[in-house]
Amino acid sequence: MEISLSKGEIELLMRLYKRGGRSSLEELGIDKSKAAAWAELLKERGLVEVLEKRDEFLVLTPRGLKHLEEGLPEEKLIRILESRGGRANLNELKSFMEDDELNVAIGEGRRKGIIQLEKSNGRVTLTLIREEVPEREILEKIASRYVKPEEIDKEVFIGLKRRGLIDVGEKTFIELSLTERGWAAARGDVKIVEEIGKLTRDLILSGEWRKRKLKVYNVKAMPPIVYPGKPHPYLQFLEEVREILIGMGFVEVKSPIVEAEFWNFDILFQAQDHPAREVHDSYQVAFPSTGADLSNYIELVERVKRTHEDGWNTGSRGWGYSWSFDIARRLILRSQTTAASARTLAAGLEIPSKIFAIDKVFRPETPDKTHAIEFHQCEGVVLAEDMNVRHLMGFLAEFAKQLGFREVKFKPAYFPFTEPSVEAYVKHDQLGWIEIAGSGLFRPEMLIPMGYDYPKVQALAWGIGIGRLAIIKLDLDDIRELHSQNLDYLRKAPLRR
């Protein structure tokens, strides 16, 4: 009878035999990861038992490590008293130690009989009685090796734990022991043949391979699971959206996160007393609260002002109030990516043009399954002649189709800067119909001040809550999970292409 083992397995078996047939992985003197792998192979052959043991041990907390290095408060007090002849006034000691540390030192010193306090004529004097601090030795022992809680005095343990100097940790020890078959093999009662796992050129040329035992490989065995680095699933989804829009002929545009109310609201014909402009619907910057530079847009600002007040040349009556330049200069966190579209339109676009923006926006929402205070929005604008709402719905339906959604529906809506306006919805298996986009045709009060020939030139626009689409595509049911740092989820999430 013979047993085929690799060189490493034989080495582990013999070391275990020399240690009396029982040992922990750490005590074998072999690289721990290699020893663990060889032990599992020996276990499969019935030569070794692998046992897991969990042991509690003491560890120093950050405070404990600090006191180990700098000294315990009572040790510092001892050194100060020694330098002053073993006796000192309490007020003198306050110049050497902080009040909190001195209070701990005095409390511990009295409890352990290290010092004695005397009060006379309103003065407190401390006298050094003994210099030993047994906790010092215990802290050093805990720092240098594994110490079990039962290895130290119970009262000392309670005291160190109460002071936040030590804590109880847990360690898993792997212990190996020889089985009956393992003992027989190690003693030589069973012949051990060394296996070779690699057929080399020298073994073939020399013919030595005929005398050796080749390791048998199980080609059906599953390989270990490897989790390579990859982009976050949500970032992959946003990149997919970006590629779809570019494929549809759109060009990406950007705008700053800290934005002037002029670009976020005013140029969109959103009145300065509109509820969405209050602090509860947008984040206003506290400092500096104003200061946006609009000096390069003096004529545009004047046209927007007139449009708000009386409609200017747009055919509208405006909002009928006195427009404030100071409000327009206020700084907020961008609440919609339409600000990026407005900046690009104001700079002048060729006709026809298609632009989009994918970026973060910020709103003081109450977080729930479909709402977040910081989220991505996808803005799209098509600027062309003779466009209508049917073209708008066609673009949105095609975009949804490209993302893999088949059920899309629309219903009329109201938005301050579009007319007509529609909301777009897609179907979620668990959540039902979810609103994904507010959309419409930009109003003349927005396009005419920017210099476009309305109604000949129209602008289709939409803002998509792209996070809501993402939870459907990523098979989630809560928008807050889009920013998950759960490693198990991130490792198992498929790499989207």
Kindly give the pairing relationship between strand 374-385 and strand 48-60: unpaired
- Quote the pLDDT of residue 443: 92
**Residue 251 and residue 355: Cα distance in Å, rounded?**
5
CATH top class, domain 2-56+177-214? mainly alpha
The two tokens of residue 459 are 């602008």
Mean pLDDT by 10 residues, the chain (497 residues): 84 90 86 88 90 85 89 87 85 84 86 85 84 86 85 86 88 87 88 83 87 80 83 90 93 93 92 78 84 87 94 91 92 91 92 93 82 86 92 90 85 89 84 84 93 92 85 81 82 74
- Quote the pLDDT of residue 198: 82
**Residue 386 and residue 330: Cα distance in Å, rounded?**
36
Closest by CA to 464, choosing from 425, 492, 428, 417, is 425
- CA-to-CA separations, 9 to 12, 37, 184, 372, in angstroms, rounded: 5, 9, 15, 56
Instruction: Name residue, tokens 């796992």.
Output: 197
- Contact (CB, 8 A) for 325 and 305: yes
- The residues of the chain that CATH labels 1.10.10 are 2-56+177-214, 62-169
- The residues of the chain that CATH labels 3.30.930.10 are 235-492
- Quote the pLDDT of residue 391: 93
- Quote the pLDDT of residue 279: 65
Closest by CA to 471, choosing from 428, 435, 418, 441, is 428
- Quote the pLDDT of residue 252: 94
Please report, as a single letter, which amino acid is at residue 459: A
Range 399-405, long-range pairs (CB < 8 A, 24+ positions): 399/244, 399/245, 399/248, 399/464, 400/424, 400/426, 400/436, 402/244, 402/247, 402/248, 403/240, 403/241, 403/244, 403/469, 403/473, 404/473, 405/469, 405/472
The two tokens of residue 83 are 């330098």
Please report, as a single letter, which amino acid is at residue 384: A
- Quote the pLDDT of residue 302: 95
Residues 6+ apart with CB under 8 A from 276: 265, 270, 282, 335
Closest by CA to 443, choosing from 319, 288, 333, is 319
- Quote the pLDDT of residue 436: 81
- Contact (CB, 8 A) for 448 and 318: no
- Quote the pLDDT of residue 411: 93
Closest by CA to 209, choosing from 190, 195, 221, 228, is 195
DSSP 273: T
Residues 6+ apart with CB under 8 A from 198: none
Strand order across the beta sheet in which 191-196 lies: 2-5, 191-196, 213-214
**Beta pairing partners, 361:** 375
**Residue 319 and residue 331: Cα distance in Å, rounded?**
22
How far is the first Cα of the chain from the last one, in angstroms, to the nearest whole number? Answer: 55
**Residue 126 and residue 402: Cα distance in Å, rounded?**
82
CATH 3.40.50.720 fits 235-492, yes or no: no
DSSP 493: S
How far from the centroid of its chain's Cα atoms is residue 444's Cα?
44
CATH top class, domain 62-169? mainly alpha
- Quote the pLDDT of residue 128: 86
Instruction: Name residue, tokens 């479909």.
Output: 370
Task: Count Cβ atoms below 10 Å from residue 129 Cβ, excluding itself.
Answer: 14
- Quote the pLDDT of residue 217: 77
- CA-to-CA separations, 228 to 34, 225, 232, 489, in angstroms, rounded: 23, 10, 12, 13
How far from the centroid of its chain's Cα atoms is residue 383's Cα?
39
- Contact (CB, 8 A) for 54 and 170: yes
- Quote the pLDDT of residue 496: 64
> Mapping DSSP to helix (H, G, I), strand (E, B) and coil, where does residue 329 land?
coil
- Quote the pLDDT of residue 497: 59
**Residue 236 and residue 185: Cα distance in Å, rounded?**
55
- Contact (CB, 8 A) for 233 and 474: yes
